[in-house]
Amino acid sequence: MELGTDASIALVAIAPFAAAVLAPLVHHFSRPFAGWVLALVPAGIVWFLLTMVDPVLATGAISARIGWVPAYGLDLSFYVDGLSLIFALTIAGVGTLVTLYAGAYLKGHAHLGRFFAFLMAFMGAMLGLVLADNMLALFLFWEATSVTSFLLIGFDNSRMAARRGAIQALAITNIGGMALLVGLLLVHQATGVWELSAFGDEIRGSAFYGPVLACFLLAAFTKSAQLPFHFWLPNAMEAPTPVSAFLHSATMVQAGVYLLARVTPWLGGTPVWTGILVSIGGATLLWGALGALRQTDLKQMLAQTTIASLGLSVLLLGLGSSYAISAVVLYFVAHALYKAGLFMVVGAVDHEAGTRDITLLGGLADRMPVTFIGAALAGLAMVGLPLTLGFFAKEEMYLGLLHWQWSDIATLVVLVAGNALLAGIAMLVVVKPFLGPELPTPKAGHEAPVTMLVGPILLGAAGMVAAVMPDWLGQTLLQPGASAILGQPVESHLSLAIHPANPVLWLSLATWALGFLVYQQAATLRTVLRRLEARLGWTADKMFDALMFGLIRFAGAVTRLLHHGRLELYLVTVFAVLAVALIVPVGVLGGYQLLLPNAELGNWSAWLTWPELALYEWGVVLLALVGLLAVLAAPNRLVAIIALGIQGAAVALIFLLFGAPDLAFTQFTVEVLSVVILALVMTRLRLDERDPREWEDLARDGTLALVCGAGISLLLMVVLAGDLDTRLSDFFAATSVPIAHGANVVNVILVDYRGFDTLGEIAVVMGAGMAVMALLRRRKVAS
């Protein structure tokens, strides 16, 4: 496959984030027209991507690389082939209309500018995800979709249901995000490359295949709401309708389908791939379609059908034939067009009639004729009638299963049943609110604003126009998209001709007939399904709540156990662990053999060697011992703190005797300040009495102190008994002047080589000083 290069591809992902930053200002200065102004960004992206159609058809793909982390061989790379181009065009196109729609739907909202910022960032995250070639970049955009969707779902944060829906979506999709990261790292470990476009089929035959497949499937199933992770998607309906229209049609929930499509060439085609995707996808298709029949809220009905549609796409990807993959491409576009249009229609009905309960709506076609036309165009595509994209997608998925094997027959039955249920629900959504006798509604229904009608009409018309041009549709959409998924050329055979002898036609007729039956018996089916749900009692949604409640209770118990507020026990635990870490490796495990390779385990004489000291050096040792005795014999804590200064002075003298006057004077200064500050604090806090604890506690702490001290001393002796590795000190000495331009090596180390460490120490001292000042001031006020 020949590759072209165009670095401007990166602007497609960057532009929406820039618009997100500016969105509040744009809304502030162009308040009535903010939606129109911001819609120019995705509209410009659509125009730019359309210029890439011919180059992609001619060369197969266009790539771009931007230096990211050169030291690790990481580039921010983007890749545009038939698959990513179809997804990007759909995202930007639907995003343009959703932005216009949101400006009218949320007109006058106090936080509309913030909403536009979240929406633009969400769009940018999804565009970056489908265009990213670098695996780490894909992961970052993947997680960005979760974060931005969290912000959008919980936009109305004053409602508990919105907060719960946002948290649930974030929690479930982040499980998949972590799995995706592990899978990507395993792929890099197996292949040594970071770009998705550079992979072959080496993963399929390697030992990494199982873990990688598990990680990618978990990521895709959580993102695209497959069983048993489906329950977060209906709760995401707490978001404003523009978010639902965008999220359910072309963005976040389609990310899992995109991931599975992208990895099909090097993970697909195996029995385990086919078995898992077909079974999970089929179960999700039927579960979502039946779940939609239980609902009377139009948004919830559409949300459940999204679950079913995602299951349908996963099932087709599992089949993996050229017909099934062609159906995936066509169905993705068809679903995006009709689902976004239907959500916009439902939002318009709710906005203008005051309710979206299907049992309270009827006869709105006379009051909202344009809205009804938009609903009808989308509904025809959802039913899959001729002259719609949905018809071609349905024909392709049936065409690949005419082999009459038992597995094909079972899959065909599931597809027909699922499509029939979806067709019946489409009839309900379109017919019930608009036709029949007019019912009273909370608001007197009237036509929605123009910007709320543009989306449904254009999206429905786009599906119709594409469907009446099968040759163009096959060459421009089906062939490049399906070829990119399969990794091999796929030919289009779309045609408007209908042959009565074609079995697919009869399967379509059976689907429509069953769909009409579902429409007629919807009330009865709804009652039966609700009774079954009531008998089940527990649902995945309730199990999530129980799990979260248990997690919170468990976290509280752990917190009470470990963070009980007794500082004394915290210190005992820390020093006990330190004692074990110091003593056990020496006496039992022989861990210090790494530091002293030539010593035998248990050869204490090789370790416990006392150096020959001069008379003045013995004087320093005696001074330290005097300080120790002074601390132990101190009549109160104030005297003990002052006596600690003797220990610090002894350490400073050691530095001075061994040629480090800078450290010696620093140590003297720190000791003087420490003693003065601590004495001042102790005096003000009146903590000059002796330790009031019992002898048992004192014996415990004394033993810990002796063991820790002995362990540290032994560690130092072991280190000194080994060979000194001077590579680091030699590096400092050699580079101090030419690199850091400082002749004082100690100062250079503190300021340059470990400057952040020094900065951290300064911050700690400053924080301690501020705490002391706060205590002193509080004491002064209290007195």
Q: What is the pLDDT of residue 144?
A: 93
For residue 596, pLDDT beyond 70: no
Burial 252-285 (b: 16+ CB within 10 A, else e): bbbbbbbbbbbbbbbbbeeeebbebbbbbbbbbb
Q: Which carries the bigger pLDDT value, residue 289 or residue 190?
A: 289
Between CA 167 and CA 185 the distance in angstroms is 27
Mean pLDDT on 636-663: 78
Identify the three-state secondary structure at position 297: strand
Q: Which carries the bigger pLDDT value, residue 163 or residue 693?
A: 163
pLDDT-based confidence at residue 645 (cuts at 50, 70, 90): confident
Mean pLDDT on 201-226: 88
Pairing of strands 2-5, 74-80: unpaired
Residues 23-35: tens digit of each pLDDT: 999 988 888 888 8
Residue with tokens 């594409």, as numbered in its chain: 466
Q: What is the pLDDT of residue 17?
A: 93
Could you state, in order of their start, the residue ranges of all structural domains in the chain?
316-520, 567-724, 725-783
H helix or E strand, kind and range, residue 475? none
In terms of Cα–Cα distance, which of 201, 322, 313 is closest to 255? 313
Residues 451-494: tens digit of each pLDDT: 889 999 999 999 899 888 888 888 888 899 898 898 888 888 88
Q: What is the pLDDT of residue 179?
A: 93
Task: For residue 310, give both structure tokens.
Answer: 């995602």
Q: Which carries the bigger pLDDT value, residue 10 or residue 96?
A: 96
Task: For residue 321, give both structure tokens.
Answer: 């034939």
Compute the Cα dihedral for 485, 490, 492, 498 and give only its sign: negative
Q: What is the pLDDT of residue 778?
A: 66
Burial of 371 (0-12, 13-18, 19+ CB in 10 A): buried
Q: What is the pLDDT of residue 590?
A: 52
Between CA 529 and CA 533 the distance in angstroms is 6
Residues 297-321: tens digit of each pLDDT: 899 999 999 999 999 999 999 998 8
pLDDT-based confidence at residue 283 (cuts at 50, 70, 90): very high
CA distances from 460 to 382, 454, 649 (A): 11, 10, 84
Compute the Cα dihedral for 311, 317, 319, 322 and give only its sign: positive
Between CA 506 and CA 520 the distance in angstroms is 21
Q: Which carries the bigger pLDDT value, residue 600 or residue 499?
A: 499
pLDDT averaged over every residue in the chain: 85
Mean pLDDT on 151-174: 89
Cα-Cα-Cα-Cα torsion 750, 753, 755, 756, nearest 10 degrees, comes to: -130
Range with the poorest average pLDDT among 23-27, 102-106, 590-594: 590-594
Q: What is the pLDDT of residue 691?
A: 57
For residue 690, pLDDT beyond 60: no
pLDDT-based confidence at residue 599 (cuts at 50, 70, 90): very low
pLDDT-based confidence at residue 2 (cuts at 50, 70, 90): very low
Task: For residue 636, give both structure tokens.
Answer: 């109160």
Mean pLDDT on 356-379: 90
Q: Which carries the bigger pLDDT value, residue 743 or residue 95?
A: 95
For residue 91, pLDDT beyond 60: yes
Q: What is the pLDDT of residue 625?
A: 84
For residue 387, pLDDT beyond 70: yes
Mean pLDDT on 396-409: 82
pLDDT-based confidence at residue 129 (cuts at 50, 70, 90): very high
Q: What is the pLDDT of residue 603?
A: 54
H helix or E strand, kind and range, residue 295? none
Q: What is the pLDDT of residue 699?
A: 81
Instruction: Note whether 244 and 303 are within 8 A (CB).
Output: yes
In terms of Cα–Cα distance, which of 341, 420, 347, 348 is closest to 376? 341
Instruction: Note whether 631 and 641 are within 8 A (CB).
Output: no
Provide Rg for the chain, Cα atoms. Answer: 35
Between CA 504 and CA 398 the distance in angstroms is 6
One-letter amino acid of 676: V
User: CA-based diameter of the chain, in Å?
Assistant: 112
CA distances from 434 to 358, 367, 741 (A): 10, 9, 81
Between CA 552 and CA 540 the distance in angstroms is 18
Task: For residue 547, give both structure tokens.
Answer: 């799990």
For residue 594, pLDDT beyond 60: no
Instruction: Note whether 661 and 645 are within 8 A (CB).
Output: no
Contacts of 104 (CB under 8 A, 6+ apart): 35, 448, 449, 450, 451, 452
Residues 540-580: tens digit of each pLDDT: 778 888 888 898 899 989 888 888 878 888 888 888 888 88
Instruction: Note whether 7 and 64 are within 8 A (CB).
Output: yes
In terms of Cα–Cα distance, which of 280, 270, 307, 279 is closest to 292? 307
Instruction: Note whether 163 and 224 are within 8 A (CB).
Output: no
Sheet of 60-69: strand order equals 2-5, 60-69, 74-80
Q: What is the DSSP string of 22-36?
A: HHHHHHHHSGGGHHH
Task: For residue 578, give both structure tokens.
Answer: 């330190």
Percentage of the chain surpassing pLDDT 70?
Answer: 92
pLDDT-based confidence at residue 685 (cuts at 50, 70, 90): low
